[in-house]
Structure formats: structure tokens, C-alpha cells
Amino acid sequence: MAPIPGSGLAKGLAVTLRTMTKKTVTEQYPDTQPDLPPRTRGVIGLFEENCTVCMLCARECPDWCIYIDSHKETVPAATPGGRERSRNVLDRFAIDFSLCMYCGICIEVCPFDALFWSPEFEYAETDIRDLTHERDKLREWMWTVPAPPALDPGAEESKEIAAARKTAEKLATTQPEPADPTGSDKTNTQPTDPAGPEPGPTDQAGPKTGPTAPAGTKPEPTERRPRPTQPPTEPPAGPTASEGDAP
């Protein structure tokens, strides 16, 4: 069937009429900042404290736009008799955003969570050489990184959080209870008799210290160990008389 002449024009006019009746959606930038999604790939922020200069981000970057310089320092031994260790200290961390293709590979391969996506996008420059941002600028963008989304309420708790929670509960149970400022003992719940407990058959004769001897007998002395005697330092002056020679 042949198309009706002028049908295409009528459809176009119908779309125009429908659009004219709708409210405009144009955002008045820069007076009104756009509401960007949290996963917007604007720039890359650097959390310098987590960087160990492992060079994985620079090696995996397909554009070779990450520049890292570092030096080694000697760390003294933590314990007496231990050996010294060396660590890498970050000197320079720069990203050339004129070459960056915003693939996010550097963020994915970072094993210590030192790189994050920031939704900031207002960093245009008149000179292309100014698009190479050093670590000071990357650190400023780190504070604009949005917080991670909340976990699923039905998701399993992470092992790190579970271990930390169990340790905290164990420490809370092992800590002693604070003392009562009034000085009263809360554990003693039984009422006490002001006259004291009634003496038993053994309490009337005094404390029992051992078997008692009958009256009128002298108690035997307790056995004592003889003290070690030292040998005489000088020989005797002459022969001593024996028991048989005595007059």
C-alpha cells in the first residue's frame, strides 16, 4: 500500500506539539550543579597513606599516564635484637588526564585501596600541560569521593567486622565491674545477724589446732632437724680421756 502523501509531515508536527506542552529539562549549569550518580567517573582521587609504591597501577595503565617516583628508607628494628627493614616512601604521584581514558583499571588493580573515583569534573585548563595533576591535587579530590553504598540487609557480615565485634564482646565480658562508691557489697544478699553466728561444738573450745594431750601430761617436743656442724678448724691440744679411763 502506498503511503499517504503528507503523513510523514503530520507525524513530525505531532511530535513537535507533544514536546511543546512538556516542561523543559534543561539544567541551568553552572548556576545549578547537576545531580550526578555516585559511580560517576570524574577524576581519580589518591589516598596517599594507603599507597605502598607497588607500581601496579602504573604498569597496568594502557595509556601510561601515571608517573610515580619513590625512594627507600631504613626502618629501625621494632624489638631489641631484631633486624632493620626497608620501605618505599612516595615522592611523586601524578596522573596526566590529557592521556587518561577513564578505564578505571588502575583503581581495580590497586591492592591497598589507594585510588578512588571522584565525581568532580570541573578541571578544564587552557593549557594541555596543566592537565598533569600531582599528588597534592589528587589528595584534594579524595575528600570529594562519596561514601560507599550500604550493604544489603540480608548480606553476610564480613570476616573483618565479625572478628572485631567478637573481640570487643570478649573484652567487655572480661573487664571487672566498677566498684560501688558507697562501699557496700552487692554480691552479699543474705541478711547478717548482728549477734553473730551461733558457735558450734568445735567453736566453744576455741580454734582446733591439732590433737590434744590428756590432762597432767607434758606434751612431747616436736622433732627438729639437727643443724649441720662445721669441722673444727684446729686439732685438739692433746689426747682426750675416754669414758673407760675416767677415775
Tens of pLDDT along the chain (247 residues)?
677 888 888 898 999 988 888 887 788 888 888 888 878 889 999 999 999 999 999 999 999 999 999 999 988 888 888 888 888 999 999 999 999 999 999 999 999 999 999 999 989 899 999 999 999 999 999 998 988 777 777 888 778 788 888 888 988 888 766 666 565 555 555 555 555 555 554 444 444 444 454 555 555 555 555 555 555 555 555 555 444 444 4
Helix (H) or strand (E) holding 46: strand 43-46
**3-state percent helix, strand, coil for the chain, nearest multiple of 5:** 20, 15, 65
| Per-residue pLDDT, 35 | 85
At 24 the pLDDT is: 76
Among candidates 53, 54, 135, which has minimal Cα distance to 93?
Answer: 135
Question: How far is 64 from 132, CA to CA, in rounded Å?
Answer: 12
Q: How many helices (H) and strands (E) does the chain have?
A: 5, 5
Q: Which three cell numbers stand for residue 64?
A: 601510561
Nearest to 139 by CA among 105, 87, 89, 94: 94
pTM of the predicted protein model? 0.52
* C-alpha closest to that of 132 among 176, 60, 67: 67
Paired with 89 in beta bridges are 71
State the residue for C-alpha cell 624489638.
79
* Closest among 38, 48, 40, 60 to 138, alpha carbons compared: 48
Phi and psi (nearest 5°) for 59?
-75, -35
